[in-house]
Amino acid sequence: MNAPLTTRQSRGLFPWAQGGGVPALREEMEHMFQRFWDENGDAWGSQMLSPALDLKESDKDVTVRLDLPGVEAKEVDIQLNGNQLVVSGERKEEKEEKGETYHRIERRSGRFSRSTILPCAVQEDEIDATMKDGILTVVLPKSPEAQSRHIEVKSS
């Protein structure tokens, strides 16, 4: 009945404060965020950038708009494969200049790609793409077969 008492190791209120203190915690947190956001790392960060996309259809055409702030028109590639529209490119990283120190970098740079399935056939030779104020607008005229037609009903 008289079992020996085991001693418990005392735990501090802030376990990270033992053996390294706040700098060790900061390094661990930065390492975790780098793994999460790093485009070349494993885990979640290996995903490409994926810009927001709007797709709308009218009687005559399909319009696709993508938010591409900071991307030059020459850095954008648009391809149509069947009824799939693929927009890809690259947002260039700003280079750090001598005498400047970044304290925070939140804007993402690197390759991006976005694809969407079009709701109908389009006239490939008449597609128009424009870039203005960081918004890419792609207008895809519908093929004559895909355009809606009004059919008059005759009385007999």
The pLDDT tens digits of the residues spanning 59-70 come to: 999 999 999 988
* CATH at 64: 2.60.40.790
Mean pLDDT of the chain: 79
Q: Do 58 and 22 share a domain, yes or no?
A: no
Output the six-digit token pair for 123.
Answer: 């006239």
CA-nearest of 153, 154, 155, 123 to 138 is 123
How far is CA 51 from each of CA 69, 72, 78, 113, 154, rounded to the nearest angstrom? 9, 14, 14, 8, 49
Please list, in sequence order, all residues whose beta carbon lies within 8 angstroms of the beta carbon of residue 8, skipping any fewer than 6 positions away: none
pLDDT for res 147: 77
Range of 76's domain? 48-94+108-141
Binned at pLDDT 50, 70 and 90, residue 11 comes out as low
The pLDDT tens digits of the residues spanning 85-132 come to: 999 999 887 776 777 887 777 777 888 999 999 999 999 999 999 999
The pLDDT tens digits of the residues spanning 12-35 come to: 555 555 555 666 777 777 766 666
Domain count, the chain: 2
Residue 63, beta-bridge partner list: 56, 139
Q: Do 40 and 112 share a domain, yes or no?
A: no
CA 120 to mean position of chain CA atoms: 25
Residue 121 within any structural domain of the chain: yes
Q: Do 34 and 54 share a domain, yes or no?
A: no
Q: What predicted TM-score, i.e. pTM, was given to this entire model?
A: 0.62
How far is CA 74 from each of CA 15, 29, 62, 139, 152, rounded to the nearest angstrom? 52, 38, 23, 18, 47
CA dist 106 and 108 (Å) reads 6
